[in-house]
Homo-oligomer: A and B are copies of this chain.
Amino acid sequence: MKKIVSFVLTTAAVTLSVPAAAQFAKPEDAVKYRKSAMFLMQQNFGRVGAMASGKVPFDAKIAAESAAVAEFMSKLPWPAYIAGTDKGDTRAKPEIWKEPAKFKDYADKMQAEMSKLAAAAKAGNLDAIKTAVTATGGACQNCHDDFRKD
């Protein structure tokens, strides 16, 4: 358990190769945990994305705060992909557990892009935000394409 939970706040947070079930009372909690983090990430990323695309006016303060929350959330889901949780109320594909290195690579890349976005938003640079939103969105999509059911 120590080994797992200690990864929660680190960037390289995918812990597919070690038994992580101990930190969740039941498998449904693990599913809900990662879905909750993903939803909060998506909502906050979406606010910045709406500014990047011009859908809503750019507000540097909101962008910085939203991107910071999205970055925090990007680190949380991974220890919750415990074995056997491709069932139930989830769109996680079994491939996550069949190709853990690829999944970890995608997850790491998304976190790295999200951190760049948070840095751009903190700096208040809209052009840099636009670039980072595109890169981050692509990193999300890559993983969803291969590891999430439609």
Contact = CB atoms under 8 A, between A and B. Distances in A.
A59 interface: yes
A62 interface: yes
A92 interface: no
User: In the complex this chain forms, how many copies of it are found?
Assistant: 2
Interface stretch (A68-76, A101-109, A110-118, A137-145): A68-76
Contacts of A24: 43
A142 to B, nearest CB: 23
A56 to B, nearest CB: 7
A87 interface: no
A40 interface: yes
A5 interface: yes
A1 interface: yes
A37 interface: yes
Interface string A49-69: 000000010010110011011
Interface of A: 1-2, 5-6, 8-9, 23-24, 29, 32-33, 35-37, 39-40, 43-44, 47, 56, 59, 61-62, 65-66, 68-69, 72, 76
